Amino acid sequence: MFDDIQHRLSDALGRFKVRGKLTEANMQEGLRAVRTALLEADVNYEVVQRFMKRVTEKAAGQALIKSVRPDQQIVKIVHDELIELMGEGDPHIRFEKAGPTVIMLCGLQGSGKTTTCGKLARRMLGLGRKPLMVAADLQRPAAIEQLKVLGQQLDIPVHAEDPEGTDPVEVCRRGVSQAEKLGRDTVILDTAGRLHVDDELMDQLKKIEKKVRPHQVYFVCDALTGQDAVASAGAFNAALELDGVIMTKLDGDARGGAALSVRQVTGVPIKFVGMGEKLERLDPFDPQRIVGQMLGMGDIVGLVEAA
């Protein structure tokens, strides 16, 4: 599929040989190929429309670089613009001076929250921090057990309660007190997966935010997500004011267009990417890599860069 697009692109682009300046007319076919590539990478339709408009405006009138074909120049312009839109990678987590730093993870069902909880905790250990994880998913069968197993693997404490007769807000509150008591300086809250249209469960998250006041709220987003990424990320951001996004399952062949969509709709930086099921597979976000994957036209970009 990938090669397909590349092929079509070089085909389309090969057809216009312009001298002088880029114009809307001579860019049209090439831009269309780029647009197709982005849509096939699952970038949200409106995001693509806005993006294409912006790139067209930016490129029109630019002088042609002599040693490079104009079509190649356009891909490079698109590529750079995408990288700018994705923002800087920033894998730093701000820790509080006093008391434990509390980080809450949230997201749709099955996006990778619990696994990411373990990955973050492992990363904290590496930074010399003393993390504690809180099992605040009282919903999914064996969710607590799952987090406990990760805690054992990492040899770090997990605060868990019998789901009968308690609720996630209470569990989180007591989890933080427990951390204080045990002298743990970082708390990671693993919340249940929920749909952004589930008012009751979204209210529950808001309640946790109000009562527990996490210092950082991260949205865990599945890189396989399609057009709906803007709806879910937008709703979570509206409810909670996200501080960061973690994209999971980027170890496959997903082109990860959701990254651009989510970035555009929330304005929140992507901090980490999940690159596998194992707890060491958490990488700092790298805009270059994701854009390369999304656009799938690395050779052309390399060519222009070398010129």
Partner 1 sequence: AKTARLFDVRSWFGRKVDQDFLDELEAKLIRADVGVKATQILIDRVREAYADKTADEDLLAFLKAEMKALLQDPQAGALAKAPTNPTVILIAGVNGSGKTTSIAKLAQRLKDQGNSILLGACDTFRAAAADQLAIWAERSGADMVRGNAGADPASVAHDACDRALARKVDYLIVDTAGRLHTQTHLMRELEKVRGIISRKIEGAPHESLLVLDATNGQNAIQQARIFSKSIACSGVILTKLDGTAKGGVVVAVRQQTDLPVKFVGVGEGIDDLQPFDPDAFVESLFS
Ligand X SMILES: Nc1nc2c(ncn2[C@@H]2O[C@H](COP(=O)(O)OP(=O)(O)OP(=O)(O)O)[C@@H](O)[C@H]2O)c(=O)[nH]1
Under the binding rule (CB under 6 A), the answer on residue 276 touching ligand X is: yes
What is the contact mask toward ligand X in residues 163 to 202, using x (rule: CB under 6 A)? Answer: -----------------------------xx-x-------
Tell which positions 153-192 bind partner 1, by CB under 8 A. 153
Tell which positions 90-129 bind Mg ion, by CB under 5 A. 113-114
Of the candidates 8, 89, 90, 86, the one whose C-alpha atom is nearest the C-alpha of residue 296 is: 8
Angle formed by the axes of helices 287-295 and 24-40, nearest 10°:
100
Which residues on neighbouring strands pair with residue 104, listed in sequence order?
A: 189, 217
Distances from the Cα of 23 to the Cαs of 49, 51, 59, 237, 278, in angstroms? 18, 17, 8, 38, 49
Under the binding rule (CB under 5 A), the answer on residue 191 touching Mg ion is: no
Edge-first strand listing for the sheet containing 158-159: 158-159, 131-136, 186-191, 101-106, 216-222, 244-248, 270-274, 282-284
* Whole-number CA gyration radius for the chain: 22
Tell which positions 84-113 bind partner 1, by CB under 8 A. 108-112
Our CA angle for 171, 173, 175, nearest 5°, is: 65
Q: How far apart are CA 92 and CA 94, in angstroms?
A: 6
Tell which positions 84-123 bind ligand X, by CB under 6 A. 107, 109-115
Q: Which is nearer to ligand X, 109 or 166 (CB)?
A: 109
142 binds, among partner 1, Mg ion, ligand X, none (CB under 5 to 8 A by kind): partner 1
Q: How far apart are CA 174 and CA 157, in angstroms?
A: 14
Residue nearest to ligand X (CB): 193
Q: How far apart are CA 303 and CA 305, in angstroms?
A: 5
Q: How far is the CB of 1 from partner 1 (least distance, A)?
A: 7
Q: How far apart are CA 81 and CA 63, in angstroms?
A: 17
46 binds, among ligand X, partner 1, Mg ion, none (CB under 5 to 8 A by kind): partner 1
Distances from the Cα of 120 to the Cαs of 50, 197, 227, 272, 297, in angstroms? 34, 27, 27, 9, 32
Q: Which stretch in 39-47, 121-129, 272-280, 298-306 sits in contact with ligand X by CB under 6 A?
A: 272-280
Amino acid, res. 303: L
- Tell which one of 131, 214, 257, 287 touches partner 1 (CB under 8 A): 257
Q: Which is nearer to ligand X, 81 or 228 (CB)?
A: 228
Q: How far is the CB of 247 from partner 1 (least distance, A)?
A: 13
Question: Binding-site residue total for Mg ion (CB under 5 A)?
Answer: 2
159 binds, among Mg ion, partner 1, ligand X, none (CB under 5 to 8 A by kind): none
Q: Please report, as ranges, the residues that interact with ligand X according to CB under 6 A.
A: 107, 109-115, 137, 140, 143, 192-193, 195, 248-249, 251, 274-277, 281
Residues binding Mg ion (CB under 5 A): 113-114
Residues that bind partner 1 (CB under 8 A): 1, 36, 39-42, 45-46, 108-112, 114, 139-143, 145-150, 153, 195-197, 222, 224-228, 231-232, 249, 251-255, 257-258, 277
